[in-house]
Amino acid sequence: MAVKVLVGTKKGLFVLSGDAGRRKWEVEGPLLTGFSVYHAIRDPRDGALYAASNFFGGGTVHRSTDDGATWERAEELGLPEDGELKLNATWHVEPGTNGELWLGGDPGVLFRSDDKGVTWQPNEALLTHETRDKWNPGAGGMCLHSINVDADDPNKLVIGISAAGVFRTDDGGATWQPVNKGTAADFLPEDGPEVGQCVHKVLVHPANPDRIWQQNHCGVYRSDDRGTSWERLDGNGLPSDFGFALMLDPRDPDAAFTIPEESAMNRVASGGRLGVWRTRDGGASWEVLTEGLPQHAWVGVLREASAWDGLEPNGLYFGTQSGSVLASPDGGETWHEAARWLPPVLSVETAEWQ
Amino acid sequence: MAVVRLPALLAQEAGGQREFEVDAATLGDALRALPVRDLCLDEHGELRRLVNVFVDGEDVRGADDLDTPLRAESKVLVVTAIAGGAPELVALSDKLTARP
C-alpha cells in the first residue's frame, strides 16, 4: 500500500504516489484534462474515485473505478426545474457512513446519491431553508465546501457554506439548524447574526464528534458541543485571523493545524513566511512549524487544499495556488516539496492503494 | 443530417468524437441527442452559460435559442464563450457582486 495524494487543480487531477517513507513522490496526471477539479476523494468503501469537476459551462461529478484510467460522468445532477436556482459549481464529494454519497455545491446546495454517483437528489430542506435569503456569496461563490458525516450515525451531518455559516442535522438532512453562535461576521452590520458567517473550512474531529474546528473569514474557532457554542482561538499566538487551510490529527482531538494568511485583502502567507501553525492544547496556544518550508513565499492555500493521512506519525499535506504540494511525514515537524509547477492547486486529499 | 461540432473538452467527454450527425428539426433536439447533452444544457434544459452555439454562422443566444430550426445541411458550432479565460470572468463577476 502506498499513500496517494489526490491533487485537484484548475486544470485537471494529479495523483502523487509516495514511497514507504512518504518522502519521495511520483506524479501522475493530469487526469480529467481541462476540468477544474475543485475536490477529489477516494471512497474507502469500494475504492472508487470521485471528482467535483467544473468546466466553463458549470459543474458535474466524475467517477472512476479503475484508479483514474477511465471516468464516467453523473447522469442526473441539478436543481429542480420549477425553482429559480441553478447549480453553478460542484465543490465537495463526501462518502457517507452507509452506501450514500454527499455532494456540496454552489449556490449553497447539498445533494445525495444512493447509486454511487450516477444520480444525485438535491436536499430540499437546505434548498428552501428559512434563512436562505440572508446568505451571501463570498469571493468563491456560495459554496457548500465542508461535509462531515458522523462515523456512527449517518443521520448526523455538519456542513459549512460560505457565506451562510455552519449547519447541522440530526435527521439525515430533513431539517438543518444554523450553529454559528459566537462566530464573528465583521462584514455584516449586525452583531452575532444567526447566519451569514463566512466559514472557510469546518472539520469535525474523527474521534470526537462533539469537537469541531473551524477556520473562518473572521477567526479560528473550536466547539466542544457540536457547534452549539464556539470559542475564538486566534488571539493566542496566531499571526492573523484569516486563512483557509485546516488540518487535524485523528489521534489527538486537541491538535489542529492552520496556515494563516495576511488578511482578506491580501491572501498570501502571513508575513510572506510560509508556515503551518500547530496547537496541541485545543487552541490555547500555537507554534509555527517552518522546517523545510520557504520563508520568502507569498503564496495562498485554498480551503480544500490541505489534508492529513492519519498514519503513524500523521502525514500532513497542502497545495498552493502557485502549483506546489508540500508534504510532512512527521506531523508537521519537517516539510518537503512533493510536487511543483502544477496548475493552481484547488484541493488535496489522501488515500492508500497499490 | 445537420452536423454538430463540439469544442475539445466536450469532444473528450463524448468519447473523443468531435462531430456528430443528427437528424433534428431544432437546435434543442440536436443538442439533446448528444452524449454530452448535460454539458451543453443545464438542469432546466437551457443552454449553459458560457456555452455559445452558432447555427450556420449565427449566434442563437438572444435569438431563437434552442428553438432555432435546423436544415438538413445545417452546421452547428458549439463553442466556449471565451476559451480559457471564461472561468476567471465568472469568478470576477462573482467577486464584484459579493460582499465579503
Q: What is the pLDDT of residues A227-242, one digit of tens each?
A: 999 999 998 899 999 9
Cell of residue B14, nine digits? 463524448
User: Torsion-angle region of residue A49: left (phi > 0), alpha (psi -120 to 50) or beta?
Assistant: beta
Cα gap B85→A234, rounded to integer Å: 37
Average the pLDDT over each of A145-159, A180-194, A313-327, B25-39 and give the range with the smallest value. Answer: A180-194
Cα gap A146→B81, rounded to integer Å: 31
Interchain contact A339–B (C-beta under 8 A): no
pLDDT tens-digit series, residues A113-152: 999 999 999 999 999 999 999 998 777 789 999 999 999 9
Partner residue facing B87 (CB), from A56, A80, A137: A56
Q: Cα distance from B24 to chain A (closest Cα, Å)?
A: 22
How large is the average pLDDT for residues A30-53? 97
Residues recorded for chain A: 354
pLDDT at B82: 65
The reply to whether residue A139 touches residue B100, judged by beta carbons under 8 angstroms, is: yes
Q: Cα distance from A328 to chain B (closest Cα, Å)?
A: 32
Q: Which amino acid, A191?
A: D
Residue A258 has pLDDT above 50, yes or no: yes
Burial class (CB in 10 A: 0-12, 13-18, 19+), A224: middle
The reply to whether residue B43 touches residue A81, judged by beta carbons under 8 angstroms, is: yes
Q: Which amino acid, A300?
A: G
pLDDT tens-digit series, residues B73-96: 999 999 987 644 444 444 544 444
C-alpha triplet B50, B51, B55: angle, nearest 5° = 135
The reply to whether residue A60 touches residue B38, judged by beta carbons under 8 angstroms, is: yes
pLDDT at A148: 98
Please answer whether residues A12 and A334 qualify as being in contact, where contact means their C-beta atoms are separated by less than 8 angstroms: no
Residue B75 burial (CB count, 10 A): 15
pLDDT at B85: 45
CA nearest neighbour of A4 among A324, A304, A353: A353
**A208 phi and psi, to 5 degrees?**
-145, 95
Mutate which of B6, B10, B13 to disrupt the A interface (most A C-beta within 10 Å)?
Answer: B13
The reply to whether residue A58 touches residue B49, judged by beta carbons under 8 angstroms, is: yes
CA nearest neighbour of A126 among A186, A168, A77, A64: A168
Mean confidence (pLDDT) of chain A:
96
A124: Cβ contacts below 8 Å, ≥ 6 apart:
none
